[in-house]
Amino acid sequence: MKEIKERIDKLIHQLKLRKIDFYLISTSDEFLNEYPPNYNMRLKWLTNFSGSNGIALISRSNKYFFTDGRYILQSKKQLIKDFKIFDSAKVNIFSFVLNYLKKKQIMLDMRCFSTNFVKTLISKAKENRNVIVNDKKKLFDNLWKDRPKELDKKFFMLEERFTGQSFNEKVNRIRPKDKSILVISSPESVCWLLNIRGYDVENTPLIFSRLILTKQKIELFVNKNKVPNEFINKYKKVLIFDINKFETTISKYLNKNILVDKQISYFFYDLLNNNNNNVKLIDDPCIKLKSLKNSVEIKYSKQAHLNDGIALVKFFKWLGENYLKKKVTEFLAAKVLEDFRKENKDFFSPSFGTISASGPNASIIHYQPEQNSPVIKEDNLYLCDSGGQYYGGTTDVTRTVFLGKKKPSNIIKELYTKVLIGHINIATLKFPVGTKGFQIDSLARYNLWNCGLDYNHGTGHGVGSFLGVHEGPQSISKNINNTVLEPGMILSNEPGYYKDKMFGIRIENLVLVKKSSFKGFLEFETLSLFPYDLNLIKSEMLNKDQKKFVNSYHSKVYKSLSPFLKKNYNLWLKKKTKLI
Ligand SMILES: [Mn+2]
């Protein structure tokens, strides 16, 4: 912690020299991804906060931190005591600046914040004559002396048998038909569009890149050392530039019609918005298209879920048999699970850092065990939220199990069953075409709400095809999101319940939106394949249809996985999927 204090003090010293009151810094980098690489984890380096969503606002006398419900407990643990922490659902950075700051100079690196963010911040700041200043001279980056280096590992091309759509087809769907210039700033969109994947981010096969598309030209901006010869030979129409040329290229545009995605960093938007250009902020057209999985992507997603189910059976059987005999730490459990996933030849990497949490640690929604993590304890709940990137598909699955010789308490069983009912409400729902995710979110919370309980995270997020484990535009959440749920979208279904410092329960499957047999209605097909914990289900709380769902899901799990498992695993799985 001494190191952290010194870093913050150095930053404050620099602010003083420049007569700046506050420095604003967040978890995102210039590519605005949820998970930046270690060499861009500025907030973590400065504050020790390792979560995926946080904003710090730092002055000589005050330190504020904003994060969402998933990370409140974690930030309290990781940050130095001087920070005052806010749940951004209640006080976010914008309302804070508006209500609590007056005539302050606030500096931030405008490369690392979206256009929307900076525009909103500037407008809120103005009201009390606060001024937003760009960290042009990289004051912050200059403080970070021992910054890790970027790796130059070559990217690779995904064959059409995995993507179901060629790069040409995709480009033709979004390319401007007139003289406009379309600027795609999101690396995820570029990877989807070009059917390429790489190694720039841990757990997501991303390549840091940008793309410019006109009626005639396709210009790719990427670290040239990462481009394989195969790509140069096959994609002859793509002009390749070094990623550093992006800034100079767009700053040269003059009198152009430019379409650019809303999510571009403010710094680049500002460059475009010069020289008499007509800049229109649009929804990145790739985002919607990539959310609608084609039949090939669905096929590979199902294959990935089958692979994943096999690994989960091996893992949970191993865990049940070993946690008493050996000292199994949360960290070791995560490692063993990863090793079982690795047995599959199509496994690429985990899809995020495994949340392997025993007892009270599971109440930290995005807890990640470190090497010195505690041993998994007996007669406790154990929560494991993990996923895999497989060639062609991405998975994300959570199971909460009771480990112990005693029986779980009645109250734990009741809470687990309430969470399960919410999960089943989503899994079995039929809903009219045109329904948006936020309109069904309360169905997952209904049983908890009626007891005055809730969970502090969304019910469902979109999931990519061998790409981001969190992707838009769809979601199931309390937050209003006007994206309509459409056939082909994949989402998570993950209600939970958490008791601070005591335990955590979450049940998560991925679901695919598809047409229902009722005309004009849609429904979900559950993709994940692993049983719920029968020891934790209070079956008298389930109605006939809910019991039927559990039984038919469990029989599907057994039927799907058993042909690929040896006899001892099947005996175990049979017990775990017996009728209730
Ligand atoms: Mn999830």
What one-letter code names the amino acid at 96?
F
Q: How far is the CA of 464 from the centre of ligand 1 (A)?
A: 12
Q: How far is the CA of 304 from the centre of ligand 1 (A)?
A: 15
Per-residue tokens: 515 = 């047409």
Q: How far is the CA of 309 from the centre of ligand 1 (A)?
A: 16
Q: How far is the CA of 402 from the centre of ligand 1 (A)?
A: 21
Q: How far is the CA of 71 from the centre of ligand 1 (A)?
A: 15
For domain 156-289, give the CATH superfamily.
Creatinase/prolidase N-terminal domain (3.40.350.10)
Pick from 466, 428, 432: nearest CA to 444: 428
Read off the pTM.
0.91
One of 3.40.50.300, 3.40.350.10, 3.55.40.20, 3.50.50.60 is the CATH number of 2-143, namely 3.40.350.10
Q: How far is the CA of 493 from the centre of ligand 1 (A)?
A: 8
For helices 410-427 and 441-449, angle between their N-to-C axes, nearest 10 degrees? 160
Pick from 51, 77, 57, 69: nearest CA to 15: 57
Q: Rounded to an integer, what distance in angstroms lies between the CA atom of residue 49 and that of residue 74?
A: 8
Locus of tokens 């005309």: 519
Locus of tokens 């008493």: 324
**Alpha helix (H) ranges present in 375-492?**
410-427, 441-449
Peptide bond into 473 cis (omega under 30): yes
Expressed in angstroms, the distance from the first to the final Cα of the chain is: 51
DSSP one-letter string for 270-303? HHHT-TT-EEEEE--HHHHHHHS--HHHHHHHHH
Q: Rounded to an integer, what distance in angstroms lies between the CA atom of residue 237 and that of residue 216?
A: 9
Per-residue tokens: 108 = 């931030």
- The hierarchical CATH code for the domain 292-576 is 3.90.230.10
Per-residue tokens: 555 = 């029989």
**Where are the extended beta strands (E) located within 326-379?**
347-350, 355-358
Q: How far is the CA of 267 from the centre of ligand 1 (A)?
A: 31
Locus of tokens 């709940």: 381
Q: How far is the CA of 460 from the centre of ligand 1 (A)?
A: 7
Q: How far is the CA of 401 from the centre of ligand 1 (A)?
A: 17
Outline which parts of the chain fall under CATH 3.90.230.10.
Answer: 292-576
Pick from 350, 311, 305, 314: nearest CA to 525: 305
Q: How far is the CA of 374 from the centre of ligand 1 (A)?
A: 24
Q: Rounded to an integer, what distance in angstroms lies between the CA atom of residue 18 and that of residue 131?
A: 14
Q: How far is the CA of 523 from the centre of ligand 1 (A)?
A: 19
pLDDT in single tens digits along all 580 residues of the chain: 889 999 999 999 999 999 999 999 999 999 998 789 999 999 999 999 999 899 999 999 999 999 998 899 999 999 999 999 999 999 999 999 999 999 999 999 999 999 999 999 999 999 999 999 999 999 999 999 999 999 899 999 999 999 999 999 999 999 999 999 999 999 999 999 999 999 999 999 999 999 999 999 999 999 999 999 999 999 999 999 999 999 999 999 999 999 999 989 999 999 999 899 999 999 999 999 999 999 999 999 999 999 999 999 999 999 999 998 889 999 999 999 999 999 999 999 999 999 999 999 999 888 889 889 999 999 999 999 999 999 999 999 999 999 998 899 999 999 999 999 999 999 999 999 999 999 999 999 999 999 999 999 999 999 999 999 999 999 999 999 999 999 999 999 999 999 999 999 999 999 999 999 999 999 999 999 999 999 999 999 999 999 999 999 999 999 999 999 999 999 999 999 999 9
Q: How far is the CA of 461 from the centre of ligand 1 (A)?
A: 7
Q: How far is the CA of 397 from the centre of ligand 1 (A)?
A: 7
Outline which parts of the chain fall under CATH 3.40.350.10.
Answer: 2-143, 156-289
Q: How far is the CA of 507 from the centre of ligand 1 (A)?
A: 10
Pick from 63, 127, 51: nearest CA to 95: 127
For helices 410-427 and 544-561, angle between their N-to-C axes, nearest 10 degrees? 80
